[in-house]
């Protein structure tokens, strides 16, 4: 059923209202509403306030035996009562976010075709070529503001999952609404189903994507071009977030569109802002300035190089020239240290190729002596006990970020980092780890989740009518996020604020993004007298 709001919504009655996720309140419909919307006889007699509904939903959720069952339950709730779903997420973010996003979304993507219940999102295939703009009119909303799109080729650290990757845009947009108050009616998940090279998926009779090898080259580029142009025509106020594209495509698409389309790549830019925020916060623990740090990355893909690019910009703002900043940033990949004259380096790696001999990972640590070690490899256990102990030899407080998702792909666990460093590590991860107690002390590992940044970026861009997303906006986001880490957080070893503060974090980032847009002449809307108040007034509330 098409979504109906405003005056049209008043005409939706009976089972049609109960079957509309946007309009349904379930047992919370009041006596007067039950008369007005012809609901008498269609609901139990008791009227539940939203708090009771939330408690019932939580009890049902917790009754499930496995996280994937909890994921299925939550998506079903989203499909029948949108506001209750977002209320549940917003009020129980620590418990719910790992279920609708990392790490459970990784399993959801792997099993997407097997747990499929209800169509959600928009699918585009090569067979739609020449008609994408026409097909966008099938979407029930006209005021789309936020699009998350993937082609499913590099889902988290799990690789090519084809059309199963639709779970990623669905999960991201749920967080946009719950964490930043962007209305669900303005959100659109999109899957560019261009085939898959995953033979196991293509041999699965339940697989829901097209049964073809991946589209490549000019045909792929032209299909993406048609999609982007069609969005500009159908939804001229929409921000496009590129998600989980393979590194070469991720950089190519960002470079092609960033200056003339409202868009960003969360894997490159969102991850960078969150990681930079964590590094900035860590300087308050280790007692060093950002520009004095030596930082080593294990992994040289889009996430790692995106982080390095933003840190390089931050170091330059702190007073270093570009060359000096890049000299403090080092990369190691499966072929060893990224150095000059090494064959096969991609363009985004070249600025960080140093004129030194190539050595393997642990020897690189010995020679470079980094203060910060950042993992973005998708290789579980890559930060071994020897690595952590080596980092601890020449750092009183070694900073170790194991950012790969999902949890099964983390370079090390929180418990390992603390134990192998005798409790001295400043640790953060991409997926959540629980608190660790070691020698009578409690540690709260920070989760460097992009959800700290991308919802606020989107909210700020929408609020000011941004024409483009600049690098400076991500720098501002990182500074704001780092500034919201309290002394109590740092005392527990956490370099990010508690997730329960996520809506406040998103509002603060949105305001900073909007200010920067007005400062750079990138905003189309007029600047209000009180930016925070104006943005807060626009935020979707899951209450009824």
3-state secondary structure 11-31: CCCHHHHHCCCCCCCHHHCCH
**Mean pLDDT across 471-475:** 97
Residue 158 has pLDDT above 60, yes or no: yes
- DSSP for 216-279, please give it: -HHHHHHHHHHHHHHHHHH-TTPEEEE-S--HHHHHHHHHHHTTTSSEEEIIIIIHHHHHHHHH
- pLDDT of 283 higher than 90: yes
Concerning whether 101 is annotated as a catalytic residue, the answer is yes
pLDDT at 6 (0 to 100): 54
The stretch 465-481 carries a mean pLDDT of: 97
How many Cβ atoms from other residues are within 10 Å of residue 95's Cβ? 15
Q: What is the pLDDT of residue 137?
A: 98
Helix (H) or strand (E) holding 406: none
Rounded mean pLDDT of the chain?
Answer: 96
Segments making up each domain of the chain, as ranges: 1-48, 119-261, 270-459+467-544
Quick one: average pLDDT of 63-87?
97
pLDDT at 76 over 90: yes
Reported as a pLDDT band with limits 50, 70 and 90, residue 41 is very high
Phi, psi (degrees; rounded to nearest 5) at 429: -140, 165
25 is catalytic: no
Catalytic residue from among 101, 220, 443, 452: 101
Question: Is there a common fold for 119-261 and 270-459+467-544?
Answer: yes
Q: Tell me the C-alpha to C-alpha distance, in Å, between residue 423 and each of 73, 279, 437.
A: 38, 18, 9
Flag whether pLDDT at 132 surpasses 80: yes
Percent of the chain with pLDDT over 90: 95
| 316 close to 284: Cβ distance less than 8 angstroms | no
**Candidate list 25, 37, 83, 172, residue with the active-site label:** 172
Q: Residue 5: which pLDDT band, with cuts at 50, 70 and 90?
A: low
Q: Indicate the helix (H) or strand (E) that contains 139.
A: none
Lowest-confidence pick of 141-145, 346-350, 409-413, 466-470: 346-350
Using one digit for the tens of pLDDT, what is the confidence trace for 434-459? 999 999 999 999 999 999 999 999 99
Residues 325, 355, 297, 257: is their CA dihedral positive or negative? positive
Residue 7 has pLDDT above 70, yes or no: no
Inform me whether the pLDDT recorded for 313 exceeds 50: yes
Question: Would you tell me how many other CB atoms lie within 10 Å of the CB of residue 443?
Answer: 20
Distances (CA, A) of 182 to 71, 93, 136: 21, 16, 21
pLDDT in tens, 236-262: 999 999 999 999 999 999 999 999 999
What integer pLDDT is reported at residue 2 of this predicted model? 46
Average pLDDT rounded to a whole number, residues 176-197: 98
Q: What is the pLDDT of residue 431?
A: 87
Residue located via tokens 């990138």 = 522
Q: Candidates 3.40.50.720, 3.20.20.70, 3.10.129.10, 3.40.50.10490; correct CATH number of 270-459+467-544?
A: 3.40.50.720
Q: Residue 2 contacts by C-beta under 8 Å, 6 or more apart in sequence?
A: 140
Q: Tell whether the model's pLDDT for residue 344 goes beyond 90.
A: no
Q: What does the radius of gyration of the chain's CA atoms come to, in whole angstroms?
A: 23
Q: What pLDDT is attached to residue 394?
A: 94
pLDDT of residue 1: 38
User: The pTM is what?
Assistant: 0.94
In this prediction, residue 463 has a pLDDT band, given cuts at 50, 70 and 90, of: very high
Per the structure block, which two tokens stand in for 55? 């408690």
- CATH superfamily for 119-261 is Malic enzyme, N-terminal domain (3.40.50.10380)
Angstrom distance (rounded) from CA 406 to CA 401: 14
């Amino acid at each position: 059923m098409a979504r109906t709001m405003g005056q049209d919504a008043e005409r939706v009655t009976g089972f049609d209202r109960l079957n509309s996720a946007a309009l349904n309140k379930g047992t919370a419909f009041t006596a007067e509403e039950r008369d007005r919307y012809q609901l008498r006889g269609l609901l139990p007699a008791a009227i539940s306030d939203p708090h009771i509904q939330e408690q019932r939903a939580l009890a049902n959720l917790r009754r499930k035996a496995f996280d994937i069952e909890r994921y299925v339950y939550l998506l079903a709730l989203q499909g029948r009562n949108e506001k209750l779903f977002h209320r549940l997420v917003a009020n129980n973010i620590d418990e719910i976010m790992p279920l609708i996003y990392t790490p459970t979304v990784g399993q959801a993507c792997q099993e997407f075709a097997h747990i499929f219940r209800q169509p959600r999102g928009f699918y585009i295939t090569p067979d739609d070529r020449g008609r994408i703009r026409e097909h966008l009119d099938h979407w029930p909303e006209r005021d789309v503001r936020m699009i998350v799109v993937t082609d499913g080729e590099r889902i988290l650290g799990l690789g090519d999952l084809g059309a199963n990757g639709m779970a990623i845009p669905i999960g991201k947009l749920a967080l946009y609404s719950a964490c930043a108050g962007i209305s669900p009616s303005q959100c659109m998940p999109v899957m560019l189903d261009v085939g898959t090279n995953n033979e196991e998926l293509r041999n699965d009779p339940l697989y829901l994507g097209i049964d073809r090898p991946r589209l490549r080259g000019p045909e792929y580029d032209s299909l993406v071009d048609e999609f982007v142009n069609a969005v500009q025509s159908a939804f001229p106020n929409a921000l496009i977030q590129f998600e989980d594209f393979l590194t070469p495509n991720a950089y190519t698409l960002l470079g092609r569109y960033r200056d003339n389309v409202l868009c960003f790549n969360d894997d490159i830019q969102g991850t960078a802002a969150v990681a930079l925020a964590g590094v900035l916060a860590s300087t308050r623990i280790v007692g060093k300035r950002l520009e004095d740090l030596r930082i080593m990355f294990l992994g040289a893909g889009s996430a790692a190089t995106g982080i390095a690019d933003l840190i390089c910009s931050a170091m330059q703002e702190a007073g270093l020239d570009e060359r000096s900043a890049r000299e403090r940033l080092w990369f190691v990949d499966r072929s060893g240290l990224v150095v000059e004259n090494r064959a096969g380096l991609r363009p985004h790696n070249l600025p960080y190729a140093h004129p030194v001999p190539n050595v393997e990972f642990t020897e690189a640590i010995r020679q470079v002596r980094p203060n910060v070690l950042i993992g973005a490899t998708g290789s579980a256990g890559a930060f071994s006990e020897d690595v952590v102990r080596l980092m601890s030899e020449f750092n009183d407080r070694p900073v170790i970020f194991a950012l790969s998702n999902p949890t099964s792909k983390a370079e090390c666990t929180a418990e390992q980092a603390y134990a192998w460093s005798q409790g001295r590590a400043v640790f953060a991860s991409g997926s959540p780890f629980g608190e660790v107690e070691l020698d009578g002390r409690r540690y709260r590992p920070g989760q460097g989740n992009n959800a700290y940044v991308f919802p606020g970026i989107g909210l700020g861009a929408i609020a000011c009518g941004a024409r483009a997303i600049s690098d400076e906006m991500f720098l501002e986001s990182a500074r704001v996020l780092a500034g919201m880490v309290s002394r109590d957080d740092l005392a527990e070893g956490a370099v990010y604020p508690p997730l329960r503060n996520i809506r406040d974090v998103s509002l603060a980032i949105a305001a900073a993004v909007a200010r920067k847009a007005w400062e750079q002449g990138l905003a189309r809307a007029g600047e209000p007298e009180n930016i925070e108040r104006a943005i807060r007034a626009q935020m979707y509330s899951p209450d009824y």
